[in-house]
Amino acid sequence: MRPQICARCDTMTDKPVVVGHVHSASMGGRTIYSCPEHVPTFPQPIDPIAQIDALRRVRREGTAS
């Protein structure tokens, strides 16, 4: 994974952790990264179970035909 800037401390980290996404009409969405130390400081950490659920929902709707 490419180094990313931690959204909390503004420091480049070579072990970025995805902590969220910002959706924007003009940019098409942006991923928020954190360094490993600051992951717990983000209020809504990504829940893998919820993500799988969302994926399943999309697939079910996508294969309805």
* Contacting positions for Zn ion (CB under 5 A): 6, 8-9, 35, 38
Nearer to Zn ion, 14 or 61 (CB): 14
Residue 53: its H or E element: helix 48-62
Nearer to Zn ion, 9 or 22 (CB): 9
* Spatial separation of the C-alpha atoms in residues 55 and 17, rounded to whole Å: 20
Q: C-alpha angle 29/31/33, rounded to 5°?
A: 160
Nearer to Zn ion, 2 or 60 (CB): 2
Shortest Å distance, C-beta 16 to Zn ion: 10
